[in-house]
C-alpha cells in the first residue's frame, strides 16, 4: 500500500493540493471513536488505578495456589531425586523439555510483535506490544525452570556457566545445550531491557497521576525521572530502534538454537535441517495464539475495544493462519524427507510416529490442532467471531504442546535397538508441575495487569492522526470505518459516543 | 522554629502549546532564533522534531557498534581460551584448534546481542542524562501534564540569549499558553 497513507487518513496531503489528492484506500483507524490522548491515558491508567474487577480475584487466587503446587512439586523433586518423574531410559527428555520448548516458543510472539513489526513499521503493534512483551518474559520464566531442574542436581546448575571451578574443567562450547544456555539467558535479558525501556514513558505517566506518595515513589524510581524532552526522545527512539534490530535476529536465533538441541543429534526423527525454520514458525504461531488467548478476555473485561480493535485481532489471526500453514508444510515435508532420504531408521521413526507407535494419537491431535484448526482463519467470518478465534487459539495452544511432545517422546521411546524400547508415562509430579507453570504464568500476567499499564500509552498516542506535526484538522476527513459487526458484538456503547469523546470519560466497561 | 529561606534561581521559561502542530512550528522558530539550551516535552516522540530543533542524529548507534564488537570478541576469547588453550577436548570429532570456530558462532552471536543490548540501555540512559529523579521542571504542577496530553517548550536560563521578559514575550508570540518561570531550589 502506498507509503504516503501509512499514517492515518489524508494528513500527508500537500498544502493547497485541493481535491487532487487521490483517495487510495481508507485505512482503518488504529484507535476507534476518535479518542483523545487524555482518554487513552485515563482508560489505560484507570485499569491500574481503579479496583480490579471481581473476576481478577477469582483468577488470581487459584493461580496463586497452583504456583504453590508448582513450588511444592519442585521441592519434592529436589528433596527426593529426579526419579519422581516418569523419565527412564531411553526417554530421558520428556515433559520437562516439552514444557521448556513450549513456553520458550510462546515467548517468541512477544518479541516478534515488539521487534519485527516495529522494524516493518506495522503501527497496529502499538495496541498489543506491551502485553505481548510481558507475556514473553513470563513465558521465559516458566521455561527456564524446567531445564534447571532437568539437570537433576539443581544445586550444581552453576556448572552451566563458564566460571572457573575447582575441578578445572570447562564447559563444552561445541554443544548446542551450552549454546542454549547462552541463547535463552540472552533472550530473557534482552526481553527485559526492551520491555523496560518501552515502559519508562508510561511509568512517568503513572508517576504523574499517582495520588499516594508510595505509588509516586515506586513509579517514580522506575520512571527514572523521565521528562519527555525531545533531547531524550531522540536517544530513546534510537535505543528502541536498535533494540528492535537486535531482538529480531535474536528471536530467530533462540528457537534455532533450541532446535539445534535436537537437529545436531543423530537420533532419527530429530536429525533434520528443516528444524530451525520449522521451530521458529511454530514458535511465532503458538505465541500469537497465546497473545490472543490473553488479550481477547482483557479487552472485554477492561473495555479496551477502542484500543484493541477488530483490526488487531484480524491481523493476528491472519498471522496464525500463515504460520500454521508453514508448520503444516513442515510436518508434511518431514514425512516426505523421511521417505525420500532412503534412510530406514528415519522412515521407521516416522512410521512409528504416525502409524503404529504407542503415541500415534498425539501426532493426530497435534496435526488437527496446528494444521487443520487454524485453516478456519482463511474465512472472514471466523476471524470476526471472537468465540471461534478463542476456540482456535485454544487448539493451537494445546497443539503446540503436543508438537513438542511428539518430537521428543515418540522419537526417544523407539530408538535404534528394540531391546531398549520403553514407554513413557508422566507421573503426578510432572503433570502438576506443568499445570503449576500455567498458574505461575497467569498469576504473573494478572499482577502485570494490576500494576503496570497494559497498553503502551505513549506509543498509541504517537500513532494517532493528530500526533503528526503536519496534521491539519480542517482538511482531515477522519472517516471512522467501523466494521459493522463491531457495533453489535464488541462495543455496544459506540453508537452513543459523540464524534469527539469528551475528555475524562472512560467508555466501555 | 527558624525556617530557612530556600535560595532559588531561575531554571527557565516554560510555555504550553495546545497541540503537536503548534509545538512543531514554535520549535522551528526557537531554533531559528538561535537558542541553544532548550527542549520540547511531549507525551510521545514527535516525528521530525529533531529537524525542527536542529538536532543531529543520536550517537548511540556508534556506542552500540562498539559494545557489540566487544561482545563478539569476549565470546571468541572465552571459547578459544577455554576450548583450545586451557582445556582442549576432542568431542563430536571437532578439532581443538582454531578450525573449530564454526561451533563458536552461536555463542559469539548471542554475546554480541547481549553486550549490544546492555550498551543500548546504559548508553541510552547516559545520553538521556537519566536517571535523574529530581528536576526543576517537576516544580511546575502544570508540567506534569506532559505525560498525558500536554506539549511544552522550555528555554533554559543558562542559554546566553535568555532574558526573563524577552524570552517570555517570545514564547507568547509563538502561541505559548500558561507561561511560567520555573525555579530551581539551590
Identify whether B42 is part of a domain. yes
Given a cut of 90, whether residue A292 has pLDDT beyond it is yes
Higher pLDDT, B119 or A480: B119
Rg (CA), chain B: 26
Q: Do B51 and B140 fall into the same domain?
A: yes
Q: Do B142 and B162 fall into the same domain?
A: yes
- How far apart CA A145 and CA A95 sit, in angstroms, is 12
Identify whether B105 is part of a domain. yes
Per the structure block, which three cell numbers stand in for A175? 554443544
Higher pLDDT, A3 or A87: A87
Residue of B nearest to A183 (CA): B110
Q: Do B122 and B73 fall into the same domain?
A: yes
Contacts of A260 in chain B (CB under 8 A): 106
Taking only the tens place, the pLDDT of each residue in A127-172 is 888 999 999 999 999 998 998 888 888 888 888 888 887 778 888 8
Q: Do B68 and B124 fall into the same domain?
A: yes
CA angle, A76 as apex, A75 and A80 as ends, to 5°? 120
Identify whether B2 is part of a domain. no
Q: Do B47 and B107 fall into the same domain?
A: no
> Residue A107: is it exposed, middle or buried by C-beta count within 10 angstroms (0-12/13-18/19+)?
buried
- Candidates A324, A310, A315, A321; CA nearest to A385 is A310
**How far, in Å, are A59, A219, A282 from residue A128 at the CA level?**
22, 22, 20
Identify whether B87 is part of a domain. yes
- How far apart CA A247 and CA A129 sit, in angstroms, is 14
Taking only the tens place, the pLDDT of each residue in A12-35 is 444 444 455 555 566 778 888 778
Quick one: pLDDT band at residue A182, thresholds 50, 70, 90?
A: very high
Give pLDDT, residue A169. 83
Contacts of B109 in chain A (CB under 8 A): 249, 253
**How far, in Å, are A10, A198, A288, A396 from residue A129 at the CA level?**
26, 9, 11, 20
Taking only the tens place, the pLDDT of each residue in A92-126 is 888 999 999 999 989 887 888 888 888 988 888 88
B41 close to A (CB below 8 A): yes
- How far apart CA A38 and CA A237 sit, in angstroms, is 22
Furthest CA-CA distance within chain B: 82
- How far apart CA A71 and CA A379 sit, in angstroms, is 43
Within 10 angstroms of residue A328's Cβ, the number of other Cβ atoms is 18
* Structural domain count, chain B: 2
Taking only the tens place, the pLDDT of each residue in A262-280 is 998 888 888 888 988 988 8
> Residue A329: is it exposed, middle or buried by C-beta count within 10 angstroms (0-12/13-18/19+)?
middle
Quick one: pLDDT band at residue A498, thresholds 50, 70, 90?
A: very low
Q: Do B171 and B113 fall into the same domain?
A: no
A216 close to B (CB below 8 A): no
- Candidates A199, A267, A284, A294; CA nearest to A420 is A267
Residue A308 CB contacts under 8 Å (≥ 6 apart), including other chains: A127, A128, A295, A298, A299, A455
Give pLDDT, residue A475. 61
Nearest residue, CB atoms, A173 vs list B44, B104, B121: B104
Given a cut of 80, whether residue A7 has pLDDT beyond it is no
Q: Do B119 and B147 fall into the same domain?
A: no
Nearest residue, CB atoms, B40 vs list A37, A175, A230: A230
Beta bridge partners of B38: B155
Identify whether B43 is part of a domain. yes
Contacts of B57 in chain A (CB under 8 A): 238
Please give the mean pLDDT across all residues of chain A.
85
Q: Do B72 and B85 fall into the same domain?
A: yes
- How far apart CA A486 and CA A489 sit, in angstroms, is 5
Per the structure block, which three cell numbers stand in for A404? 513438542
What is the rounded average pLDDT of the residues A187-201?
93
Q: Per the CB < 8 Å rule, is A170 touching B86? A: yes
Within 10 angstroms of residue B172's Cβ, the number of other Cβ atoms is 13
Q: Do B164 and B123 fall into the same domain?
A: no
Question: Residue A170 gets which letter from DSSP?
Answer: -
- How far apart CA A33 and CA A487 sit, in angstroms, is 11
Give pLDDT, residue A168. 80
ipTM of the complex: 0.92
**SS3 call for B45:** coil
Mark the ranges of chain B whose per-residue pLDDT is less than 70.
Answer: 1-2
- How far apart CA B107 and CA A178 sit, in angstroms, is 8
CA angle, A138 as apex, A135 and A143 as ends, to 5°? 120
Quick one: pLDDT band at residue A194, thresholds 50, 70, 90?
A: very high
Q: Do B13 and B52 fall into the same domain?
A: yes
Identify whether B123 is part of a domain. yes
**Residues A143/A100, Cβ–Cβ less than 8 Å:** yes
Q: Do B120 and B78 fall into the same domain?
A: yes
Question: Residue A445 gets which letter from DSSP?
Answer: H
Q: Do B28 and B81 fall into the same domain?
A: no
Identify whether B154 is part of a domain. yes
**First-to-last CA distance in chain A?**
35
Residue of B nearest to A178 (CA): B107
- Candidates A100, A410, A145; CA nearest to A255 is A100
Contacts of B144 in chain A (CB under 8 A): 208
Question: Residue A167 gets which letter from DSSP?
Answer: T
Cα four-point dihedral sign A81, A83, A86, A88: positive
Domain coverage including residue B37: 8-56+136-185
- How far apart CA B78 and CA B110 sit, in angstroms, is 13
The percentage of residues in chain A with a pLDDT greater than 70, rounded to a whole number, is 88
Question: Which B residues, 124 through 183, put their C-beta within 8 Å of a C-beta on chain A?
Answer: 124-125, 127-135, 137-138, 144-149
Place of cell 581443538: B96
Amino acid at each position: 500500500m502506498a507509503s504516503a497513507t501509512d499514517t492515518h487518513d489524508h494528513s500527508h496531503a500537500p498544502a493547497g493540493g485541493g481535491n487532487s489528492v487521490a483517495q487510495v484506500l481508507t485505512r482503518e483507524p488504529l484507535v476507534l471513536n476518535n479518542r483523545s490522548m487524555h482518554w487513552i491515558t485515563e482508560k489505560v491508567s484507570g485499569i491500574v488505578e481503579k479496583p480490579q474487577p471481581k473476576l481478577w480475584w477469582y483468577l488470581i487466587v487459584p493461580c496463586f495456589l497452583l504456583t504453590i503446587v508448582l513450588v511444592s512439586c519442585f521441592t519434592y523433586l529436589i528433596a527426593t531425586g529426579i526419579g519422581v518423574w516418569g523419565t527412564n531410559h531411553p526417554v530421558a527428555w520428556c515433559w520437562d523439555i516439552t514444557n521448556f520448548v513450549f513456553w520458550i516458543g510462546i515467548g517468541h510472539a512477544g518479541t516478534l510483535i515488539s521487534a519485527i513489526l516495529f522494524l516493518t513499521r506495522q503501527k497496529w503493534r502499538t495496541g498489543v506490544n506491551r502485553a505481548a512483551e510481558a507475556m514473553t518474559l513470563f513465558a521465559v520464566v516458566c521455561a527456564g525452570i524446567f531445564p534447571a531442574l532437568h539437570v537433576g542436581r539443581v544445586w550444581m546448575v552453576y556448572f552451566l556457566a563458564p566460571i572457573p571451578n575447582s575441578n578445572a574443567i570447562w564447559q563444552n562450547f561445541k554443544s548446542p545445550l551450552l549454546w542454549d544456555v547462552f541463547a535463552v539467558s540472552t533472550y530473557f535479558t534482552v526481553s527485559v531491557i526492551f520491555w523496560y525501556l518501552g515502559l519508562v514513558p508510561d511509568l512517568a505517566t503513572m508517576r504523574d497521576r499517582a495520588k499516594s506518595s508510595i505509588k509516586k515513589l515506586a513509579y517514580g524510581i522506575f520512571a527514572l525521572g523521565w521528562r519527555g524532552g525531545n533531547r531524550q526522545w531522540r536517544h530513546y527512539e534510537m535505543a528502541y530502534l536498535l533494540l528492535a534490530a537486535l531482538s529480531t535476529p535474536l528471536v530467530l536465533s533462540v528457537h534455532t538454537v533450541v532446535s539445534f538441541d535436537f537437529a545436531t543429534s543423530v537420533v532419527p526423527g530429530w536429525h533434520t535441517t528443516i528444524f530451525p525454520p520449522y521451530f521458529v514458525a511454530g514458535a511465532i504461531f503458538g505465541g500469537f495464539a497465546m497473545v490472543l488467548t490473553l488479550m481477547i478476555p482483557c479487552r472485554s473485561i477492561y473495555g479496551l475495544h477502542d484500543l484493541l480493535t477488530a483490526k488487531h485481532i484480524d491481523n493476528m489471526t491472519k498471522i496464525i493462519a500463515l504460520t500454521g500453514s508453514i508448520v503444516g508444510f513442515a510436518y508434511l515435508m518431514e514425512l516426505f524427507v523421511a521417505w525420500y532420504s532412503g534412510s530406514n531408521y528415519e522412515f521407521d521413526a516416522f512410521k512409528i510416529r504416525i502409524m503404529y507407535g504407542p503415541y500415534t494419537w498425539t501426532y493426530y491431535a497435534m496435526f488437527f490442532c496446528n494444521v487443520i484448526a487454524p485453516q478456519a482463519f482463511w474465512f472472514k467470518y471466523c476471524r470476526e467471531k471472537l468465540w471461534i478465534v478463542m476456540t482456535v487459539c485454544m487448539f493451537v495452544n494445546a497443539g503446540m504442546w503436543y508438537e513438542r511432545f511428539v518430537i521428543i517422546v515418540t522419537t526417544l521411546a523407539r530408538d535404534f535397538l528394540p531391546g531398549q524400547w520403553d514407554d513413557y508415562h508422566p507421573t503426578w509430579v510432572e503433570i502438576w508441575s506443568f499445570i503449576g507453570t500455567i498458574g505461575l504464568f497467569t498469576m504473573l500476567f494478572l499482577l502485570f495487569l494490576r500494576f503496570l499499564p497494559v497498553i503502551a500509552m505513549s506509543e498509541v498516542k504517537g500513532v494517532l492522526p493528530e500526533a503528526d506535526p503536519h496534521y491539519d484538522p480542517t482538511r482531515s476527513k477522519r472517516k471512522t470505518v467501523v466494521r459493522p459487526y463491531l457495533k453489535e458484538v464488541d462495543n455496544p456503547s459506540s453508537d452513543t459516543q459523540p464524534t469527539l469523546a469528551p475528555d475524562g470519560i472512560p467508555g466501555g466497561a | 522554629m527558624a525556617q530557612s529561606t530556600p535560595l532559588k534561581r531561575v531554571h527557565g521559561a516554560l510555555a504550553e502549546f495546545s497541540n503537536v502542530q503548534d509545538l512543531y512550528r514554535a520549535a522551528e522558530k526557537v531554533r531559528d532564533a538561535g537558542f541553544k539550551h532548550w527542549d520540547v516535552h511531549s507525551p510521545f516522540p514527535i516525528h521530525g522534531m529533531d529537524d525542527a530543533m536542529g538536532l543531529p542524529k543520536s550517537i548511540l548507534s556508534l556506542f552500540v557498534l562498539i559494545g557489540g564488537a566487544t561482545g563478539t570478541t569476549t565470546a571468541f576469547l572465552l571459547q578459544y581460551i577455554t576450548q583450545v588453550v586451557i582445556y582442549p577436548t576432542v568431542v563430536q570429532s571437532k578439532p581443538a584448534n582454531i578450525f573449530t570456530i564454526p561451533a563458536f558462532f552461536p555463542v559469539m552471536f548471542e554475546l554480541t546481542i547481549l553486550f549490544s543490548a546492555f550498551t543500548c540501555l546504559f548508553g541510552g540512559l547516559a545520553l538521556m542524562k537519566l536517571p535523574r529523579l529530581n528536576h526543576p521542571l517537576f516544580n511546575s504542577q502544570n508540567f506534569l501534564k506532559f505525560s498525558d496530553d500536554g506539549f511544552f517548550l522550555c528555554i533554559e536560563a543558562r542559554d546566553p540569549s535568555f532574558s526573563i521578559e524577552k524570552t517570555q514575550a517570545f514564547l507568547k508570540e509563538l502561541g505559548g499558553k500558561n507561561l511560567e518561570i520555573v525555579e530551581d531550589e539551590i
